Chain A
Amino acid sequence: MTDVFGTAGAGLGRMPIRRSQINSDLVLDIVAEAAPELESATLRIRVLDRLGSDPLLSIEEDERRVRIDVAELARSMEIAHVTGSRRGVRAAFASWIGHRPVTDAQADATGLAVCGWADPGCTTIGWQVVVRRGNVVAVWKPSAAVAPTAIAVTRTQAQVRSLSVRVDMHVAGEAVVWTCTAAPALSTAALVSPERMLLRLSRRALPTDDLLVVVSPPNPFVCARGPVAERLAEESNEAHVTLAWPSVEALGWS
Chain B
Amino acid sequence: MLELRSINSFYGDVQILFDVSLEIKEGEIVTILGSNGAGKTSVIKSICNLLPIGSGEIYYEGQRIDKIPPYKLINLGISLVPEGRRLFPDMSVYDNLRLGGYPLKDKKTLSDNLEWVMELFPRLKERSKQLAGTLSGGEQQMCAIARGLMIRPRMIIFDEPSLGLAPVIVDQIFEILTQIVHENHSTILLVEQNAQTALEISDRGYVLENGHIVLEGASKELLESPEIQKAYLGL
**A and B co-occur in one complex:** no
